[in-house]
Copies of this chain bind each other. A is one copy, B any other.
Amino acid sequence: MDECMTGTRRSLLSEKKRQQLAGRLAAIDHRGLLGLHEVAGAGSVRGAAERLGISASALSRQVARMEEDLGIMLLERHGRGARVTEAGALLNDYFEEQRARLDGVVAQLQDITEARRGQISLGTGEGFLWHLMRGPLRGFAQAHPQLHMELSVGSTDQLVAQLLDDSIQMAVLYNLPPDPRLQSHAARRHPMRIVVAPGHPLHRLGRKITLQDLRQHRLGMLTGSHGVRQLLLSAEHGERVRLEPQLRSNSARALLRFAEEWGGVVITAAFAVAPEVLEKRLVALEAESGILEGAEAQLVTRRGRRLSPAAQQLLRHLAAHTPILRAS
């Protein structure tokens, strides 16, 4: 009924629509309405035709076709000129209203084209939040007040998943595992550091910290879905060390409080603790590990995705004006 008869069914459907939709709705096209509008304004078919740059016969036929399709008279043919009937005036009002509305839509499209208006969704790791919010993101938002932004904060693989299903357009993340489906637009190496409170025993060592050193202290770690945790696992494997964290959390903020107030040790990038280091509430010690050295912060999108103009502009803006993403 539905597959073997598609041809017939299509014909019937088309025939039905010819009389239902096309007969009433599609009969009202932009051209006919414009013609009617000009006739209403000019007061004559010929005058309106001259305004439109077409012949009077063409315009006459346009209106005649609309009348035929709608089954109602739109013009009072008046020997000397023509006036719109009540129905014609109704359609003319409709046209003018839609035209004004359309102007607004076109203006909004223009805004979208020039990235003055739009919806941008980006994701970021928790560690970038402070830098993004006070710096480039804030500047961009101030420069584009009509731009709506949605900021999704999550772990690396959460962000990757959101990138892949297009629920975010771009993401700033740390320690991204290689993925051909993603495209990097800016990257900078940020070695992982050992973060402790000032005066901590590791701080007093005065040298680079090895993974072995960490075994004697209380560790705090992100849960497994974060790129930081993944890289650390690789380092443990490479150096044959197994680290047992005292505190696991999906919140980097919680871990920093753990280091600051509980005297714990946290491994993360320096930029992620920039405010605390500035206020001298924490210190970031260098680590003695090749693997931890290679960690990168990246600005990525899904490869092959066509971004909106606003998103493209934000992408360029972030790549250019985010110090922690600029290659040194």
Contact = CB atoms under 8 A, between A and B. Distances in A.
A25 interface: yes
A101 interface: yes
Interface in A20-37: 24-26, 28-31, 34
B99 A98 contact: no
B306 A113 contact: no
B10 A53 contact: yes
Contact of A105 (B29, B94, B112): B94
Contacts of A17: 53
Interface size class of A (residues with CB under 8 A): 35 or more
Contact of A106 (B13, B25, B118): B25
Nearest to A55: B10
A77 interface: yes
Interface in A39-90: 53, 70-73, 76-77, 85-87, 90
Contact of A72 (B73, B86, B101, B309): B309
A102 interface: yes
A13 B53 contact: yes
B101 A97 contact: yes
A244 interface: no
A109 interface: yes
A239 interface: no
A105 B91 contact: yes
A183 interface: no
Most buried by B among A28, A53, A99, A109: A109
B101 A94 contact: yes
B24 A308 contact: no
Given A71-B113, A109-B72, A309-B72, A102 B25 contact: yes
B91 A112 contact: no
5 contacts: A14-B53, A28-B106, A72-B109, A90-B108, A98-B101
Interface of A: 10, 13-14, 17, 24-26, 28-31, 34, 53, 70-73, 76-77, 85-87, 90-91, 94, 97-99, 101-103, 105-106, 108-109, 112-113, 118-119, 166, 305-306, 308-309
Listed from nearest, the 9 A-B pairs whose CB atoms lie closest are A13-B53, A14-B53, A94-B105, A29-B30, A72-B113, A87-B112, A24-B106, A10-B53, A86-B119
